[in-house]
Structure 1
Amino acid sequence: MPRQRLLVYCGLPGVGKSAASAYTADQCSATRYRTDEIRKQLFDDPEYTAEETATTYDELFDRARRDLEAGETVVCDATFRSQQLRARAADLADAVGVGFDIVHVTCDSDIVIDRIESRTDSVSDADVRVHNLVRDSFEPIERDHVVIDNSGTLEETYRQIDHSILAVSNA
């Protein structure tokens, strides 16, 4: 039986966090939360201020806590650009007594730009400018984590997840 845990999918806008986290949530029968969706539920016309971002992450953590305490596995999909936000997620998992994993999704820069520029129906508002801003402020991950390179096909990404994330969760 898979062990209950909190999985945090982090990385820059456009790298494929949502595709990777959706696959993981589906394979684990987990509840998945995306800050892109939560922000739009909370704010009719998001301005992406620091206050909005803090409120969005507060709501993400509240929802995750509620579901973890109910016995569910939870997948969170957000940039988690700061060490503080990643530590907050780890503290939540520790407080609830569940496993915790950080999954850093990466992708070649040229591919990311192509993907962002070709988006047509995405809940994300991030464009190349936002990608570059987040890239410049993304703090190093200074704890154990898994890296998933989403530069290739989705099937290749899924194989990495199957091997690195799902194999561990079913151990």
Structure 2
Amino acid sequence: MSARADGGGPELVVVCGLPGVGKTTVAETIRERVDGDADLLRTDVVRGDVVSDPDYTEEELRRVYDELLSRVDDRLARGESVVVDGTFKRAVHRERARDLAREHGATFRLVRVECDEETVRERIATRTDDASDADFDVYKLYKEEFEPIEDACITIDNSGSTAQTRERVIDALY
């Protein structure tokens, strides 16, 4: 059974933000700190499991998040910690994740990753062997559609190097 590194119960950490901002880098850093056995669930991977040729429609979004949150629910029900990596552009999906944590007595943390747009453009253009197929047009679309975060969250600027980002995550969360 996975639990937090401090010996507490399970934890659900949602890492959200626009495509290309470096959510996976932040999520992997958090996963290492939460619990080496915690699952890292990525919407990009779930999307590949659910949709053969993504168009990033609202129906696809619903199906992906339904499946993702079902997997989160299963793991929390087993007392396992989970780190989730996804845009979570819709407030309803963030709320559903928070509700799952509450239902299972898990600690919930929301982490928003941000990055300057030029760095995002460069990162997306040079992606290789990544589960994400979101291009810069998807980034721009999601930037327009991202619903404001009104809950408490931790914001990580991932505009610098991986080492700098890892330091920022550790400083902000631990």
Aligned position for 2:119: 111
Please state if 1:164 is matched with 2:138.
no
The corresponding residue for 2:18 is 12
CA displacement, residues 61-98 of structure 1 (integer Å, 9 cap, x when unaligned): 11111111111110111100011111111111111111
Q: 1:2 Cα deviation (Å)?
A: 4.1
Q: Aligned residues, how many?
A: 166
What is the distance in 1 between the residues matched to 2:22 and 2:7?
25
Look up the match of 2:135: 127
1-side partners of 2:7 and 2:143: how far apart? 34
Runs of 4+ in 1 over 3 A off after TM superposition: none
Aligned mates of 2:168, 2:22 — CA distance in 1:
13
1:68 equivalenced with 2:76 (yes/no): yes
TM-score by length of 1: 0.92
Aligned to 1:102, the other structure's residue is in SS state: strand
1:35-79 CA distances to partner (integer Å, 9 max, x unpaired)?
100110122223322222111101111111111111111011110
The answer for unaligned runs of 5 or more in structure 1 is none
- Amino acid paired to 2:45: E
AA paired with 2:24? S
After superposition, the C-alpha distances for 1:81-124 in whole angstroms (9 at most, x for unaligned) are 01111111111111111110100000011111111111122111
* Aligned residue identity for 1:53: L
Is 2:19 aligned against 1:22? Answer: no
Q: 1: distance between equivalents of 2:66 and 2:100? A: 12
* CA-based RMSD: 1.2
Q: Identity over aligned residues, as a percent?
A: 42
Deviates more, 1:19-28 or 1:121-130: 19-28
Which among 29, 33, 38 is matched to residue 41 of structure 2?
A: 33
Aligned residue for 1:94? 102
Secondary structure of 2:124's counterpart equals helix
Write the distance in 2 (CA, Å) between the matches of 1:45 and 1:115: 22
Q: TM-score, normalised by structure 2?
A: 0.91
Which of the two has greater helix per residue?
1
1:43-54 matches, cutoff 5 A:
43-54=51-62
Letter in 1 for 2:132: S
Distance 1:48 1:151 in 2: 25
Q: Which runs of 5+ in 2 are unaligned?
A: 1-5
Q: 20-29 or 61-70: which moved more?
A: 20-29
